[in-house]
Amino acid sequence: MSKLSQTDWIAAGFRALTTTGPQALKAEPLARTLNTTKGSFYWHFKDVPAFRDQMLACWEEQATRDIISVLDTLPSPVLKLRTLSQVATAPQEDYGGIGAEPAIRAWAKGDTQVADAVRRVDAKRLGYLGDIFAEMKLTNPDLPKLFYAGLIGLQEIADGDDTASAAPLATLADLMIALSETD
């Protein structure tokens, strides 16, 4: 068996969070799912709180900077919004992507540290969406919030099907783009 990396443990943590909930984020159950010992866990993480901190840091990075860096390369706000709707609803192969977001938001309801991370991510995303909407000459501050609420709400009702929200979010993006073209 190959040696497990920190990334392997974090990926297992996100799978456990998504399928079982935060109670599964412990060394013993994670080690069982990876067919290894707790010693491997403690080789990579000082303790379970440090592991959870690293999971949240990975999610924050992927949920904000990684996506924003892709969008920043695009030449127009319309293309940014359309691409965002596609990226946000694409099936996630990584370990902390949008697919885990409903589970992270549920976890945040009972954990203040997780709730703080969700608030930071929400603030960064809303700020970035506000910039996109401003570039589109849509100055109503509620429009970015409506788009973001649509994204979060669609994720909540998708019931584990990442693709279920793709068409509705694309429609919402098209509506926002149409609003910008009527000025």
The pLDDT of residue 73 is: 96
Cβ proximity of 30 and 17 under 8 Å? no
Q: Which of 62, 63, 84 is nearest to 73 (CA)?
A: 84
Q: pLDDT exceeding 90 applies to what percent of the chain?
A: 74
Instruction: Write out pLDDT tens, residues 86-96.
Output: 888 876 655 55
Average of pLDDT values for 116-136? 97
Residue 58 scores a pLDDT above 60: yes
Mean pLDDT of all residues in 53-73 = 93
Q: Is the pLDDT of residue 1 over 60?
A: no
The whole-angstrom separation of Cα 7 and Cα 10 is: 5
- pLDDT digit string (tens) for 28-47? 999 999 999 999 999 999 99
Query: Where is average pLDDT lowest: 44-53, 95-104, 125-134?
Result: 95-104
What is the per-residue pLDDT across 90-113, written as a single tens digit (0 to 9) for each? 766 555 555 788 899 999 999 999
Q: Please state, in angstroms and rounded to a whole number, the distance separating the CA atoms of residues 149 and 100.
A: 17
Predicted pLDDT of residue 90: 76
User: Considering the entire predicted model, what is its pTM?
Assistant: 0.89
Angstrom distances, CA of residue 144 to CA of 90, 112, 131: 20, 25, 9
Report which of 174, 157, 64, 152 is spatially closest to residue 108, judged by C-alpha positions.
152
